[in-house]
Amino acid sequence: MSVVLSGIQCTYRIGDRPAVSIESLELTAGPVGLVGVNGAGKSTLLRTLAGARRPQAGSVTLGGEELYHRHRRTVVQQIGYMPQEIQFPAELRVTQVLAYVCWLRGIPSRTAKARTAGAIEAVGLTDRAGQLTGQLSGGMRRRLALAAALVSEPRLLLLDEPTTGLDPEQRAGVRAIISNLDQECLTVMSSHVMEDVASVTARIVVLHEGSVIYHGDTPAFVEERGGPGRSAEHAFLSTIAGS
């Protein structure tokens, strides 16, 4: 799966500076980190890639098909999206949430059960499958949101701040899940925690004030811009400062 953005302009209010303005960007299969300070436009870009926010200008193609085409049903079926603050009804059990998501995604009931079980296993929630979502910890809820994104077996997986608000152990758990994903899947993970991004992604996109100011290999990014300590955070900060 490859994604090509061309001439993208996303503006929330007429006259405002665009939240996202990307002349050209191509992303190919594998894990990609999307980093930027708060308000850089990461969530807007992910929502645009998820088909949830039509840009004012430009085009987004997934595997050569236009995402915002009127007959986009086939294209969007290939996307899995984990929003930043998703809240499923607290009174639903984990399996019920995923059954609901399967219904939304149009997954036939005969395969939904297997898909649900697979997603639950992938995120390590097997022993919590019967638990009410309202009783899950913050980390568990993140895993559930990730399972909801995975249940459709997407070829483009979009994760908006999947490790935010988690303790170090939970972050490590989520990172491990992302690392184990199919490499044929294009996974775009946004974060402002450089350590998380650097540990699981092969490529990185730095977004600043809505524009791409860096796009390249993550190890090279850290190597070239990380200073004497090869710090991912230093690389990020120096990139932002130099833009």
Out of 27, 35, 45, 76, the residue judged to bind other proteins by CB under 8 A: 76
Binding string, residues 134-173; x marks residues near other proteins by CB under 8 A: --------------x---x---------------------
The answer to whether residue 84 forms part of the interface with other proteins (CB under 8 A) is yes
The answer to whether residue 45 forms part of the interface with other proteins (CB under 8 A) is no
Residues 6+ apart with CB under 8 A from 168: none
Query: Quick one: DSSP state of residue 64?
Result: T
Structure tokens that stand for 90 in this block: 């607290």
Can you tell me which residue has the tokens 């996303």? 10
Binding string, residues 1-40; x marks residues near other proteins by CB under 8 A: ----------------------------------------
Q: Which stretch binds other proteins (CB under 8 A): 78-86, 136-144, 167-175, 179-187?
A: 78-86
Q: Which stretch binds other proteins (CB under 8 A): 79-87, 110-118, 180-188, 208-216?
A: 79-87
The answer to whether residue 77 forms part of the interface with other proteins (CB under 8 A) is yes
The answer to whether residue 89 forms part of the interface with other proteins (CB under 8 A) is yes
The answer to whether residue 55 forms part of the interface with other proteins (CB under 8 A) is no
Nearer to other proteins, 13 or 73 (CB): 73
CA dist 211 and 74 (Å) reads: 29
Query: Quick one: DSSP state of residue 132?
Result: B
> Which helix (H) or strand (E) segment is 4 a member of?
strand 3-10
In the complex, least distance from residue 54 CB atom to other proteins, rounded to whole angstroms = 7
Rounded to a whole number, what is the distance in angstroms from the first to the last CA of the chain?
A: 30
In the complex, least distance from residue 83 CB atom to other proteins, rounded to whole angstroms = 4
**How many Cβ atoms are within 10 Å of 32's Cβ, its own excluded?**
21
Out of 51, 55, 173, 226, the residue judged to bind other proteins by CB under 8 A: 51
β-strands 57-62, 30-35 pairing: unpaired
Query: Quick one: DSSP state of residue 88?
Result: -
Residues 102-141 interacting with other proteins (rule: CB under 8 A): 103-106
Report in angstroms the alpha-carbon separations of 83 from 4, 35, 58, 87, 132. Answer: 21, 16, 23, 9, 20
Q: Where are the beta strands (DSSP E) in 36-172?
A: 57-62, 65-66, 79-82, 156-160
Residues of this chain that bind other proteins (CB under 8 A): 47, 50-52, 54, 70, 72-73, 76-77, 79-81, 83-89, 91-92, 96, 100-101, 103-106, 148, 152
